[in-house]
Structure formats: structure tokens, C-alpha cells
Amino acid sequence: MPTALTNLHQPPPDWFGRNWKWLVPSTILGIALLIGAFFVFLLGLMKSSGAYSGAVARAKTAPAVVAALGSPISARFWLLGSVEVNGSSGRANLTIPLAGPKGSATVYERATKTEGQWHYDRLIVQIENTGEEIDLSETAAPAS
């Protein structure tokens, strides 16, 4: 009988002791969601830059890229790189995946912004299936 009496006089567990089974996983999930939202926010910032939109527009309208990937061409969700803008100047170094009905490709971009205009120092579209590289840089000779 002494055991039953000691159990009656134990204080009830505190709030954390009663709720840890849902609090710990919820906290971990909340932190993971915040980190994911932060990365999606950063992707949105990069995709809203003129360097990104200009490179994708050039690739979508280049006859050689359209011939290799088909039409319509769309940019995939994920991209890598960096964009720095300071007023009317800036730099961008991006890797942008593209997809079309005939296949996929990757755009490698290095651009500088001077006086508010983006200039594509390096804009290469590499076709995934063939490994062909299509140069869309401003310094490249026009494709025939």
C-alpha cells in the first residue's frame, strides 16, 4: 500500500511534460518551413531581376535554342547563382535550367549592369541531350 500512496502525492507533470510529443515535431516542422520560405523568397528575388528575365527571353527566342528544345520553352523552378544590384549597376552570375518538348538545357549567364542596362558578357545555352553549346552572348557572332 505505501506505493499507491506515493503515486497519489506526485505533482502532475508540467506543461512541457504533457505536450512535448507534439511540440518538438511541430517546432522542427516550423523551422523547416521558415527555411524553405526563405529560399523561395530568395529565388523570387533572383527571378524578378532583369538579368534573369532578359537571359530567359533571349534563350526562348533564339532560333537555335527553339530548334533544339522545341516550343514552348519554359524556365524550371530552381536556379543557382547570385545577383547583385546597386542602383544602376550590378552583376549577375546565374545557372538557369530550361525545358521544352524536345528536351532540356541549361543557361550559363554572366552579366553586368551599367547605366541601368544589363549586358550579357557570357550567355551560353548547353543542350542536355547533345552537349551542344549555343552562344547568345552580346559579343558572339550572329548564328547563321
Q: Say if CB 54 and CB 119 are below 8 A apart.
A: no
- Give residue for cell 523561395: 40
CA distance 48 to 42: 10
As a whole number, mean pLDDT of residues 30-53 equals 90
98-143 pLDDT per residue, tens: 999 999 999 999 999 999 899 999 999 999 989 899 999 876 545 4
Question: Looking at the predicted structure, is the pLDDT value of residue 32 above 80?
Answer: yes
Buried b (16+ CB within 10 A) or exposed e, 68-98: bbeeebebeeebeeebeeeeeebbbbbebbb
pTM of the complete model: 0.74
Instruction: Give residue 15's pLDDT.
Output: 86
Q: Say if CB 102 and CB 110 are below 8 A apart.
A: no
